[in-house]
């Protein structure tokens, strides 16, 4: 019996509240109760969070009744979102209160278990009140959201530092949407001890699968999609969204950029009323975000337009429908977002996908094909980011009297992303930290102070620099008039509903995942084989992707026409060069290469560098998910096939590095990474930095 090992009060409360346990609970509880490191991977809404917490609560109840509880932290819960941590604290109150009431009913003594939250929003005076004794168990929620980026590297090092502080092994419990391969997520969770073995030693993987019955569909405007959507087509999209919102109780609308979130919110508020909809994204102040979450959960809002800020498991009540505007460029992200609807055991998620252009429609068809085939993106864990390492080295030195280099390197190598860190690289990081960095005025550093008190939200510095007093912009559903622009601060006042400009935010739209690019390539290849018969292509697309006939018709007509115009179908195996001249006589070169924008950006930068060297002229370059465009002007002519000779395997890396030095992204990325590497401290306070 799944509940047989729990205390009677815990088992009784669970049975009365939930009935039968879910698969991740049944399979996860035995390993967790034995103290094993455990990774639970299952779809959203399947009860995996309670699977982790119930064991911890039960252990505290039994220990409290037997010997009493000491006043210290026993369980540390880590999540990638402040809102999710706040949610968990609130949602823990029900089981804690219910179990304490059941203890009383069954005649047991009371056991008091307290919770507290610490995030970037927590005031310092509250932080100091929190108990500092280290925990025995760590629960890492939504681990898939950090494992593929630098936040994951930061977490991995923090877990190893915590274990060093405790002086013994801590039980690690990871909660994840299913990832591919899930074994890599498990190795990330347990650290270097997971090296060299396929079965991930010491970690029990509970993978109940990622596929659920879903109600999915592709929504198209009445007018055919083009390369860029016209205002008229946008109006059709807004009308369809408004109708879907009216037909459902609660709707989440996901977009890929914060700018688009504000734009869609503004237009939909004119159709369904400002009181019925708002936006939710990371640039909004905490109060705005919490208010949006509260109003959505209480039923005051009919819809929320969000970026990835609501992608994870925040409790916003029962959501009936999820709409995704434009491809999210990742199968996992799409499934995670759609899974926010029907977010209860036995519920059926419902999602509608709105392509934004003809190319986006092809990608959406490829996405639906992956979902139909049960395919998931393959995760890529960053290998040892040095800016994060530098930050953690400084933190370790500040928190401890001293570290020897060998001991600190050994600790760092226990974190999975740094398992292969060399002594040479580690030594270089220590040198940068101890010696600073050189500028034209000597060796020095810059200090920044970012005041987060009473802030409405944040906008990109480019927006602030280009703004003037009197300009109006929008955050959420509220428009603000700029009073004055100061260093690091934009002073604003309520514009009383006047029509706004729209702000730009610091960040990047996501690039298409490699799996999705492979699926796009498969669709192109399948159409290439059948291009002589459009109806055959349409029928094949419907079977292959599951999209409706109207969407399949548009994909078929678009790609068959492209194939006829180019003489062949651009694929990963067949890259096509196309040259055309505009009305001014300027020449433009298109490299049709459906490798995704990450590859195409790098390829485009390197090609641009070679063109600049060859013709001694600056030129425009751009990259999309399926092509690279180089604008060369009216004065240059060359055989088209020579472009394939510009870059070779043996020189492309060097050319790309040189191109990056000249590109604006180099300076921008340096500014992003420098604070993390402690080159630009984020506060005026000094901390101890020792090297031994």
Residue 173 has pLDDT above 90, yes or no: yes
Q: How many residues does the chain have?
A: 692
Q: How far is CA 669 from the centre of its chain?
A: 18
Residue 647 has pLDDT above 50, yes or no: yes
Lowest pLDDT segment from 26-30, 52-56, 311-315: 311-315
Residue 449 is predicted with a pLDDT of 26
Q: Which pTM value belongs to this model?
A: 0.76
Residue 269 has pLDDT above 80, yes or no: yes
DSSP state of 128: T
Residue 594 is predicted with a pLDDT of 94
Helix axes 514-530, 534-545, angle to 10 degrees: 150
In the structure encoding, which two tokens stand for residue 64, read together? 């409290």
pLDDT confidence of 499, banded at 50, 70, 90? Answer: low
CA distances from 316 to 48, 135, 278, 300, 396 (A): 17, 29, 14, 12, 37
Give dist(CA 144, CA 129) in Å, integer: 31
Are the C-beta atoms of 678 and 391 separated by less than 8 Å?
yes
Task: Give the chain's end-to-end CA distance (angstroms, integer).
Answer: 55
Lowest pLDDT segment from 172-181, 498-507, 594-603, 664-673: 498-507
Residue 344 is predicted with a pLDDT of 65
What value does the mean pLDDT take over residues 513-528?
94
Place of tokens 């599951």: 546
**Helix, strand or coil for residue 629?**
strand
Are the C-beta atoms of 271 and 239 separated by less than 8 Å?
yes
Query: Do β-strands 489-494 and 478-486 pair in parallel, antiparallel, or remain unpaired?
Result: antiparallel
Give the residue from 654, 602, 661, 656 showing the smallest Cα distance to 628.
Answer: 602
Of residues 246 and 167, more confidently modeled: 246
Which helix (H) or strand (E) segment is 100 a member of? Answer: helix 82-105
In the structure encoding, which two tokens stand for residue 421, read together? 């860190």
What value does the mean pLDDT take over residues 597-623?
83
Examine residue 181 and say whether the peptide bond preceding it is cis (omega within 30 degrees of 0). Answer: yes
pLDDT tens-digit map of 52-62: 999 999 999 99
What value does the mean pLDDT take over residues 185-192?
92
Give dist(CA 412, CA 384) in Å, integer: 10
Give dist(CA 293, CA 215) in Å, integer: 25
**Helix, strand or coil for residue 261?**
helix
Give the residue from 382, 411, 386, 414 showing the smallest Cα distance to 399.
Answer: 411
pLDDT tens-digit map of 549-596: 999 999 999 999 999 999 999 999 999 999 888 777 778 889 999 999
Residue 615 has pLDDT above 50, yes or no: yes
DSSP state of 486: E
**Average pLDDT across the chain, whole number:** 83
Which helix (H) or strand (E) segment is 305 a member of? Answer: strand 303-306
In the structure encoding, which two tokens stand for residue 102, read together? 């059941």
Place of tokens 């630009």: 680
Residue 456 has pLDDT above 70, yes or no: no
pLDDT confidence of 133, banded at 50, 70, 90? Answer: low
Which helix (H) or strand (E) segment is 614 a member of? Answer: helix 597-615
Of residues 342 and 421, more confidently modeled: 421
Give dist(CA 685, CA 396) in Å, integer: 16
In the structure encoding, which two tokens stand for residue 353, read together? 């996908």
Residue 474 has pLDDT above 80, yes or no: no
Residue 635 is predicted with a pLDDT of 60
pLDDT confidence of 86, banded at 50, 70, 90? Answer: low
- Residue partners of 166: CB distance under 8 A and separation at least 6: 134, 135, 136
Residue 315 is predicted with a pLDDT of 64
Helices (H) and strands (E) in the chain, counts: 22, 20
In the structure encoding, which two tokens stand for residue 519, read together? 């699926």
Give dist(CA 364, CA 512) in Å, integer: 11
CA distances from 157 to 273, 385, 388 (A): 47, 11, 9
In the structure encoding, which two tokens stand for residue 674, read together? 């420098």
Give dist(CA 679, CA 443) in Å, integer: 11
Residue 679 has pLDDT above 90, yes or no: no
Place of tokens 């180019």: 566
Give the residue from 297, 380, 367, 382 showing the smallest Cα distance to 337.
Answer: 367
Question: Averaging pLDDT over each range in 162-176, 444-458, 501-515, which range is the top one?
Answer: 162-176
Are the C-beta atoms of 640 and 591 separated by less than 8 Å?
no
pLDDT confidence of 476, banded at 50, 70, 90? Answer: low
For the CA atoms of 356, 358, 360, 364, the dihedral, rounded to the nearest 10 degrees, stands at 110
Give the residue from 549, 555, 547 showing the smallest Cα distance to 526.
Answer: 555
In the structure encoding, which two tokens stand for residue 267, read together? 């237009």
Are the C-beta atoms of 355 and 326 separated by less than 8 Å?
yes
What value does the mean pLDDT take over residues 102-108?
94
Longest dimension (CA), the chain: 91
Give dist(CA 214, CA 236) in Å, integer: 26
Residue 47 is predicted with a pLDDT of 83
Are the C-beta atoms of 552 and 545 separated by less than 8 Å?
yes
Residue 535 is predicted with a pLDDT of 95
Number of C-beta neighbours around residue 301 at 10 A: 22
Give dist(CA 52, CA 31) in Å, integer: 10
Q: Is 73 exposed, middle or buried (0-12, 13-18, 19+ CB in 10 A)?
A: middle
Are the C-beta atoms of 102 and 9 separated by less than 8 Å?
yes
Beta bridge mates, 94: none
Residue 503 is predicted with a pLDDT of 46
In the structure encoding, which two tokens stand for residue 476, read together? 């959420």
Give dist(CA 517, CA 487) in Å, integer: 42
Give dist(CA 220, CA 239) in Å, integer: 12
């Amino acid at each position: 019996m799944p509940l047989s090992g729990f205390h009677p009060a815990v088992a009784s409360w669970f049975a009365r509240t939930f009935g039968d346990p879910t698969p991740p609970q049944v399979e996860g509880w035995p390993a967790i109760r034995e103290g094993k490191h455990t990774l639970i991977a299952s779809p959203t809404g399947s009860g995996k969070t309670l699977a982790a917490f119930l064991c911890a609560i039960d252990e505290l109840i039994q220990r409290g009744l037997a010997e009493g509880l000491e006043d210290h932290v026993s369980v540390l819960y880590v999540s990638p979102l402040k809102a999710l941590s706040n949610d968990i604290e609130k949602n823990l109150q029900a089981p804690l209160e219910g179990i304490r009431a059941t203890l009383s009913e069954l005649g047991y003594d009371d056991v008091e278990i307290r919770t507290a939250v610490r995030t970037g929003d927590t005031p310092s005076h509250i932080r100091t009140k929190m108990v500092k004794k280290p925990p025995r168990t760590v629960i890492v929620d939504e681990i898939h959201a950090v494992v593929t980026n630098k936040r994951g590297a930061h977490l991995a090092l923090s877990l190893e530092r915590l274990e060093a502080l405790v002086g013994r092994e801590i039980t690690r419990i990871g909660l994840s949407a299913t990832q591919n391969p899930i074994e890599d997520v498990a190795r990330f969770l347990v650290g270097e001890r997971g090296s060299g073995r396929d079965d991930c030693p010491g970690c029990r993987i509970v993978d109940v699968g990622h596929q659920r019955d879903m109600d999915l569909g592709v929504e198209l405007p009445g007018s055919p999609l083009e390369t860029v959507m016209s205002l008229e087509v946008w109006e059709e999209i807004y009308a369809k969204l408004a109708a879907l919102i009216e037909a459902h109780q609660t709707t989440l609308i996901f977009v890929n950029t914060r700018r688009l979130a504000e734009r869609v919110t503004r237009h939909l508020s004119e159709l369904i009323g400002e009181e019925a909809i708002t936006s939710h994204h990371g640039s909004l102040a905490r109060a705005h975000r919490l208010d949006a979450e509260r109003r959505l959960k209480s039923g005051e809002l009919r819809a929320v337009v969000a970026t990835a800020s609501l992608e994870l498991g925040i409790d916003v009540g029962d959501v009936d429908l999820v709409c995704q505007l434009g491809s999210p460029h990742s199968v996992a992200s799409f499934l995670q977002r759609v899974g926010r609807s029907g977010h209860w055991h036995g519920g059926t998620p419902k999602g509608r996908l709105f392509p934004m252009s003809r190319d986006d429609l092809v990608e959406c068809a490829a996405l639906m094909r992956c979902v139909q085939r049960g395919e998931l993106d393959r995760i890529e864990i960053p290998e040892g980011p040095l800016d994060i390492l530098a930050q953690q080295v400084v933190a370790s030195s500040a928190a401890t009297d001293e570290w020897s280099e060998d001991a600190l390197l050994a600790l760092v190598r226990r974190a999975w992303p740094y398992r292969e860190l060399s002594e040479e690289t580690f030594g270089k990081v220590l040198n940068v930290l101890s010696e600073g960095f050189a500028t034209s005025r000597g060796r020095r550093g810059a200090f920044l102070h970012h005041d987060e008190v009473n802030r409405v939200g944040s906008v990109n510095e480019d927006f602030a620099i280009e703004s003037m007093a009197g300009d109006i912009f929008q955050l959420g559903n509220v428009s603000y008039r700029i009073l004055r622009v100061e260093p690091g601060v934009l002073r604003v006042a309520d514009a009383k509903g006047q029509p706004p400009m729209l702000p730009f935010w610091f960040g990047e739209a996501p690039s298409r995942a490699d799996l999705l690019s492979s699926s796009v390539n498969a669709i192109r290849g399948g159409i290439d084989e059948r291009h002589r018969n459009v109806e055959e292509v349409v029928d094949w697309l419907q079977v292959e992707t599951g999209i409706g006939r109207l969407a399949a018709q548009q994909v078929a007509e678009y790609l068959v026409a492209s194939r006829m115009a180019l003489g062949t179908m651009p694929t990963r195996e067949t890259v096509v060069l196309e040259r055309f001249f505009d009305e001014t006589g300027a020449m433009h070169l298109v490299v049709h290469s459906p490798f995704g924008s990450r590859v195409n950006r790098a390829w485009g930068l390197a090609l641009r560098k070679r063109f600049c060297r060859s013709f001694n002229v600056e030129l425009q370059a751009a990259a999309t998910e399926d092509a690279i465009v180089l604008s060369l002007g009216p004065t240059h002519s060359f055989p088209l096939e020579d472009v394939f000779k510009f870059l070779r395997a043996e020189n492309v890396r060097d050319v790309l590095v040189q191109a990056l030095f000249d590109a604006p992204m180099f300076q921008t990325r340096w500014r992003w990474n420098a604070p993390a590497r402690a080159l630009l401290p984020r506060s005026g306070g000094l901390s101890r930095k020792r090297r031994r």
